[in-house]
């Protein structure tokens, strides 16, 4: 398994979605956390989703 495959797939998803900014996967994690918290999802659930302790 090539570790670059995920990166290439991520970049392809960004391109297909018309995202012009060069975003990292880590940026998407922050966005997901923010959106979940704004929707009232409990912080412990958000941590679990993100794999944080």
pTM given for the model: 0.68
The tokens for 16 are: 């297909």
- Sequence length of the chain is 53
Residue 3 banded pLDDT, cuts 50, 70, 90: confident
> Which residue's entry shows tokens 């997901």?
32
Residue 49 banded pLDDT, cuts 50, 70, 90: very high
The tokens for 50 are: 């993100």
The average pLDDT across 19-24 equals 89
Which of 24, 2, 47, 36 is closest to 13 using CA atoms?
Answer: 24
């Amino acid at each position: 398994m090539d570790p670059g495959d995920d990166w290439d797939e991520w970049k392809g998803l960004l391109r297909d979605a018309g995202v012009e900014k060069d975003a990292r996967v880590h940026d998407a994690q922050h966005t997901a956390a923010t959106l979940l918290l704004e929707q009232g999802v409990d912080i412990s659930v958000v941590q679990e989703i993100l794999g944080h302790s």
